[in-house]
Structure 1
Amino acid sequence: MEPMDCLVIYVPTDAAPAVRQAIGDAGAGRLGNYSHCSFSLDGTGRFTPLPGANPAVGVVGSSEEVPETRIEAIFPRSRRNAVVKAALSVHPYETPAFMTYPVDASLPD
C-alpha cells in the first residue's frame, strides 16, 4: 500500500462544500470502494490581518472571528501536490491555514 498522508484545512463554513469537492476530485478521501471521504468539525477561526494583508474577511489591524470548518481527509502521498493545490484553488482566504502529515491507514494483519 502506498504511504498515506492526511490533510487538515480550516475554511469558512460556507466554503467547506467546495473545498471537500475539490480535494475529493483531486484524490483525497479514497477508501476502498468509496471516494470523497472526509471528516468535518465546525468551530471558530480567529485572526488579525497585519499590514500588507488583503483579507477576504475583516480589516487590517482588527481581530476577527469567523465560523469555520475543519476538514480532514487522507490521501496517497503521491497526490499531495494535487490535493493541496485543489484545496487552495477554491479556498477564499489569502493565506489558508492547513497542514499535512503522514498517517498509518493500513489494516491489521
Structure 2
Amino acid sequence: MSDQRFIIEMGMGNDQYGQDYTKAAARAIEDAIRHSAIPLFEATGLPHSEMRVQVTIGVQAPERVDCEALADRLPRGNASVAAVFGGLDVTNPDTGKVLVIASAAVEAFLPYQGAG
C-alpha cells in the first residue's frame, strides 16, 4: 500500500526589499515547520529517513525559486520542493519596489502503518 500523509502545515514568508522568491519561500517553509512538533518518531521508534516530505511553494514567479536549494535545507526526511503560481507580489506605488509574498504547504508522509 502507498504512503499516508500524517501532517500538513502551512506557512507564509516574504522578502520586502530584494524581490528574492527563494528567500520568501524559505521563510514560508520555516514558518510552517515552526508550527510542528511531531512526537510520532519517538513514540514509535520509526526513523526520520522513512518520512517523505513534500513542499509546495506558491509565488508569482515560480521559475525564480531554487527548489533544490530549499529541499537541501529541510531538516528531516526525503524532501522534494515544487514551486507553483500563487502567492502575491505587492508593488509600492511610490517607489516601484515589489514585496514578494510566498505561501508554503509542507506535507509529511510515512509508509502505511496499518494492518493488512
Q: Is the structural similarity TM-score above 0.5?
A: no
Taking structure 1 as the reference length, what is the TM-score of the superposition? Answer: 0.34
Higher strand fraction (1 or 2)? 2
> How high is the TM-score relative to the length of structure 2?
0.32
